[in-house]
Amino acid sequence: MNKKQLQSEQTKKRIVDAARALFVQKGYKATSIEDIVAATGSSKGNIYYHFKSKEGLFLTLLEDWDREWDEQWSQKEAQYTSVAEKLYGMTDHLVRDDMNHPLTKASDEFFNSDEISPEGEERIAQLVENHLQFFRKLISQGIENQEFKSENVEHVAITLESLFLGLSQMARKLTLDEALALYQSAIGIFLHGMVKKSA
């Protein structure tokens, strides 16, 4: 990486860090590009050079959040011996991350907005596809291990993604312990239809 590329990356990181702090503090709607300009000392043109819009900048933060979640889960996954155990372990990881992440409130606000651009919709679709790929791999592993009965992997992956999306919304006003109990119960119900019956 040459000096110009390095400076560009440093500027981009400074913008991302400042924007994250503002979105956490003020929320998605109340944070303006002007706020980010003031916080970074960068020009509006410089911000638009790195990110096409406030929406694009926020989606970058969501993509970073997804990557961080995957990295943290990868460090925990090996402690579980079965896919069923992984699913229960994952609920704990999801709840604690979702309820404690500083961007959760701004994220709810963003997704409830009716002003998401077609490009934004494409990036959101890619995030969902990444989740589905994660679940496809997990379910396929359970079937290969003969832990789960053979099912349509795509349908099961979509069901799991939908289940977790719904739980995330329903758990918003619950305490941490209540949310954990809800997620664990939901996985128990899900697995009841998935666990392979012994002969």
**Cα(first)–Cα(last) distance of the chain, in Å?**
60
What is the average per-residue pLDDT within 179-190? 95
Confidence of residue 41 (pLDDT cuts 50, 70, 90): confident
> What pLDDT does 199 receive?
54
| 5 has pLDDT over 80 | no
- 195 or 176, higher pLDDT: 176
Place 176 in a pLDDT band, splitting at 50, 70 and 90: very high
What is the average per-residue pLDDT within 40-69? 92
Taking alpha carbons only, the member of 141, 144, 152, 161 closest to residue 193 is: 152
Residues 74-131: pLDDT tens digits? 999 999 999 999 999 999 999 988 888 999 999 999 998 888 999 999 999 999 999 9
What's the rounded Cα separation, in Å, for the pair 78 and 59? 30
User: Quick one: pLDDT at residue 144?
Assistant: 95
pLDDT at 6: 79
Number of helices and strands (H, E) in the chain? 9, 0
Residues 6+ apart with CB under 8 A from 12: 50
pLDDT of 198 over the 70 cut? no
pLDDT value, residue 177: 94
Contact of 18 with 1, CB cutoff 8 Å: no
Determine the pLDDT at residue 118.
Answer: 94
Q: Average pLDDT for residues 164-193, to the nearest whole number?
A: 92
Q: What is the pTM of this model?
A: 0.86
